[in-house]
Structure 1
Amino acid sequence: MNIHPTDFASLLCSRLCHDLLSPVGALNNGLELLADEQDPDMRQRCLDLLGESARASANKLKFFRLAFGAAGGFGETVDTREARAAIEGLFADNKRVTIGWMVDAPTLPKQAIKALLNLALIAGDALVRGGQLDIGAEETGGRLEIVVRADGQRIVLDPELRKALESGGETEVTPRSAAAHLARSLVELGGGELLVSEADLPVLLFGASFPVQQPGPAQ
């Protein structure tokens, strides 16, 4: 990417703020309604809505902290259970998206985890009418293979995101495309390759392949 790290961090923050605006705004509206409402049933309904908005906000923050930030610690690997919980939490309120998790390894390299999360975010957003979102990873032939598959009635991958995933530094970085640029950069930094399925296929497929880092000799 031909962009200063500070500018790129700003774009990621803009994406995060955009996604949090709806649930946080709902919290604010709910509090205003609760302050004026006297009917017990309506007050309980307001409290229920506040709880839903609070959970959605927390789930989004947990996901973005792991996908964009330093969550997972400063080690070289991340617990895959943490990644699974982040993805399931992100789509918890979207009853139209079903998550399939096919990752048996207890840990994966941090760059691979973050690439997987960002690819899952993009693929899930492409399921505009819901559908199946499958995430898989396995080590084979000295490489770590990651696959993210979206299958639904209507799949829309924004051309800007497709170009960012396919071309990387040759395209402008915007808040909307920041996650796609980050995913590609993480794959490239890990010495891997990123593949995107053709636009005319009935499903959306992302594939990332990383060389497996062999442990050094014992000292």
Structure 2
Amino acid sequence: MTMTPVDFASLLCSRLCHDLLSPVGALNNGLELLADEHDPEMRARCLELLAESARASANKLKFFRLAFGAAGGFGETVDTREARAAIEGLFGENHRLTLGWMIEDSVLPKPAIKVLLNLALIAGDALIRGGQLDIGAEVVGGQIEIVVRGDGPRIVLDQELRDALTGAQGDAPVTPRAAAAFLVHALVEQGGGVVQVSPPDAPVLLFGAAFRAG
């Protein structure tokens, strides 16, 4: 499916607003409760909830800035430590996922970082009851090879996301929830590669991509 830059920007904005609505809404609710609460213990609890919501909002913004935006400055590469910190910030706060980091390169091309982060986002969301998220990447013969593995008690990856990742959606419209998958496919295809996804009945979730990036 072809999509204009304006349409894709609208798609990303819808996705970002959806994901930020919960923590920002919690901030608003917490402030309202705090205004009406006079018990010291309850006020302290309200402040704790406000701090948690503020951290969640900040972590999501940092992740989305790197995954979707122009973070990393004007250079062609991004420090892989920034990518790791963004993933840990997004998923580490609630201790739902354990992250396995298997990347030795200190920097990777920006397109590779975006593919890596968005695949991690999709895999992390698919592990709806938590589990292990392993991420690996290396440069081999001028190509970037990325592997993301998710393992947990329950793995759910909608067909819409599978189709968007592999480009199999045809003329079907892309919804905001598939924005990250569509971006991964576009970047990998631009680099002359393909995205591979494990079958629905596989015991673990595997994403693989090999493409030119930079």
TM range, normalised to the smaller chain? Answer: over 0.9
Query: Runs (4+) of structure 1 moved beyond 6 Å?
Result: none
| CA apart distance, 1:127 | 0.2
What SS does the corresponding residue of 1:172 show, helix, strand or coil? coil
Residue in 2 that maps onto 1:184: 185
CA contact (8 A) 2:97 2:130 kept: yes
Residue in 1 that maps onto 2:51: 51
- Map 1:128-143 → 2, pairs under 5 A: 128-143=128-143
Residue in 2 that maps onto 1:77: 77
What SS does the corresponding residue of 1:6 show, helix, strand or coil? helix
- Map 1:140-159 → 2, pairs under 5 A: 140-159=140-159
| CA apart distance, 1:166 | 1.5
What SS does the corresponding residue of 1:23 show, helix, strand or coil? helix
> Under a length normalisation based on structure 2, what TM-score does the superposition of the two structures give?
0.95
CA contact (8 A) 2:160 2:169 kept: no
| CA apart distance, 1:137 | 0.7
Residue in 2 that maps onto 1:217: none
Structure 2 residue runs of 5 or longer lacking an equivalent are: none
What SS does the corresponding residue of 1:105 show, helix, strand or coil? coil
Residue in 1 that maps onto 2:194: 193
CA contact (8 A) 1:144 1:212 kept: yes
CA contact (8 A) 1:12 1:175 kept: yes
Residue in 1 that maps onto 2:160: 160
| CA apart distance, 1:120 | 0.4
Residue in 2 that maps onto 1:103: 103
Residue in 2 that maps onto 1:216: none
| CA apart distance, 1:169 | 6.5
| Distance in 2, Cα, partners of 1:87 & 1:168 | 27
- Map 1:18-37 → 2, pairs under 5 A: 18-37=18-37
> Under a length normalisation based on structure 1, what TM-score does the superposition of the two structures give?
0.93
| Distance in 2, Cα, partners of 1:97 & 1:23 | 19
| CA apart distance, 1:191 | 2.3
| CA apart distance, 1:172 | 2.0
| CA apart distance, 1:50 | 0.2
What SS does the corresponding residue of 2:111 show, helix, strand or coil? helix
Alignment RMSD, CA only?
1.3
Structure 1 residue runs of 5 or longer lacking an equivalent are: 214-219
Deviations 1:60-94 (A, max 9, x none): 00000110111111221111011111111111223
